Amino acid sequence: MTTPVHAPHAHDGGSVGRVMRLVMLALLPVTLWGFYLFGWPAIWLWLITVGSAMLFELVCLRVSGRGGPTILRDGSAALAGWLLALTLPPWSPWWIAVIGSFVAICIAKHAYGGLGQNPFNPAMVARVALLISFPLEMTQWVAPAPLFSGTGPDAIEALERLLFSSPIPDALTSATLLGHVKTEASRGVDLLASVPSFGAAAADGIGRHAGSIGETGSWLILAGGLFLISRRVIGWHVPVAVLAGLCVPAMLAHGLDPAHHLSARHHLFAGAAMLGAFFIATDLVTSPATVTGRLLYGLAIGFLSWVIRSFAGFPEGFAFAVLLMNACVPIIDRFTRPRIYGHGATDGRAA
């Protein structure tokens, strides 16, 4: 006898694919802005990353015998590749993208059992693996060379550059603000001198400065994030907590010692904070499931990022912070379970 269908006989019509598509839609503005800022190399890099991520997903699903190409429709692999691409230096060689996709999809995702089972954010695992394995390539930043401005290579030239890993012309090499101040600090130049020497573009949130493809257009990221919150794809808890966890210590430290601590404004706009707060830390699979847990998780990510940026050897710490907190998610979830109705308190107030 077949199992009868259980209630409910209704559904709100949502699907995993829809969730992923909405996130992609929210990423579209900042991605296009990144394409404009960094030109054809960024476009090719994005295509290769997303394409190879989908390819690896397909291979993994085939190997583990879990269905054919239709399963790609849930879009989770494309999204992981997309997020990874946004965190790469725009002019990275092609193999950075492919290795990154491989790590993200095959190791960080499918080795743990596929969609929904991975404890660590695939894009961040890939980024950290690349950063540690290829520190040189992963810190080759370019100054914005917008499309149609003639400063960057055209489509063919960019593809050649990508495939043959040509070095970036000296005229275009640049540094991120976080990297710049770290280098200057190691030479004994404090922030009071190093920040103004970088220029004002780092703190206006528009993104006309060096950085990975998708991290510099802060206002567009914010718009995408608010769109996701309004569509209830993500909650407000994680982004708000991340930004608070980053900005509050930054403000305090900057207030006390402006020569050695960047302002909250720089922390917000100069690095991956916005992208991370709205799109990385909010990854459904690897973030806590409870409201209290999400607040704790977000605060800890923000604070850890600030600590790593301020005191550690790496100029940027967001990926590390996310991975560290990913590891804590099970324990956070366990200790922040909501009170069940009728347990503990009978007077209607929380126990």
Q: Helix 94-102 crosses helix 16-63 at what angle (to 10 degrees)?
A: 90
Question: How near is the Cβ of 260 to other proteins at its closest, in Å?
Answer: 38
Q: How many angstroms separate the CA atoms of 261 and 294, rounded?
A: 27
Task: Work out whether 10 is an interface residue with other proteins (CB under 8 A).
Answer: yes
Q: Which of 206, 223, 248, 284 binds other proteins (CB under 8 A)?
A: 284
Question: How near is the Cβ of 287 to other proteins at its closest, in Å?
Answer: 8
Measured from the CB atom, is 18 or 260 closer to other proteins?
Answer: 18
E runs forming strands in the chain? 141-142, 173-174
End-to-end Cα distance, the chain: 46
Q: Report how many residues bind other proteins under the rule CB under 8 A.
A: 40
Q: Which of 226, 251, 285, 307 binds other proteins (CB under 8 A)?
A: 285
Give the C-alpha distances (Å, rounded to integers) separating 146 from 33, 180, 209, 220.
9, 22, 11, 17
The mark string for 117-136 relative to other proteins (x by CB under 8 A, - otherwise) is x-------------------
Task: Work out whether 3 is an interface residue with other proteins (CB under 8 A).
Answer: yes
Contact 318, 268 (CB under 8 A): no
The mark string for 58-97 relative to other proteins (x by CB under 8 A, - otherwise) is ----------------x-x---------------------
Task: Work out whether 231 is an interface residue with other proteins (CB under 8 A).
Answer: no
Task: Work out whether 345 is an interface residue with other proteins (CB under 8 A).
Answer: yes
Instruction: Estimate to the nearest angstrom the gap between the alpha carbon of 301 and the chain centroid.
Output: 12
Task: Work out whether 6 is an interface residue with other proteins (CB under 8 A).
Answer: yes
Q: Which of 139, 151, 290, 310 binds other proteins (CB under 8 A)?
A: 290
Contact 272, 212 (CB under 8 A): yes
Q: How many angstroms separate the CA atoms of 339 and 335, rounded?
A: 11
Question: How near is the Cβ of 69 to other proteins at its closest, in Å?
Answer: 15
* Token couple for 169: 């012309």
Q: Which of 19, 125, 210, 264 binds other proteins (CB under 8 A)?
A: 19
Measured from the CB atom, is 6 or 187 closer to other proteins?
Answer: 6
Contact 205, 265 (CB under 8 A): no
Total residue length of the chain = 351
Q: Which of 212, 273, 282 is nearest to 246 (CA)?
A: 273
Q: Looking at the DSSP assignment, which residues form a beta bridge with residue 141? A: 174
Q: Looking at the DSSP assignment, which residues form a beta bridge with residue 173? A: 142
Site stretch for other proteins (CB under 8 A), options 5-13, 29-37, 194-202, 307-315: 5-13
Contact 53, 77 (CB under 8 A): yes
Q: Other CB atoms closer than 10 Å to residue 256's CB: what's the count? A: 9
Q: How many angstroms separate the CA atoms of 104 and 351, rounded?
A: 42
Question: How near is the Cβ of 278 to other proteins at its closest, in Å?
Answer: 16
Measured from the CB atom, is 124 or 210 closer to other proteins?
Answer: 124
Question: How near is the Cβ of 130 to other proteins at its closest, in Å?
Answer: 25
Question: How near is the Cβ of 66 to other proteins at its closest, in Å?
Answer: 9
Task: Work out whether 256 is an interface residue with other proteins (CB under 8 A).
Answer: no
Q: Looking at the DSSP assignment, which residues form a beta bridge with residue 142? A: 173
The mark string for 316-335 relative to other proteins (x by CB under 8 A, - otherwise) is -----------------x--
| Interacting residue ranges for other proteins, rule: CB under 8 A | 3-16, 18-19, 74, 76, 114-117, 284-287, 289-290, 333, 337-343, 345-348
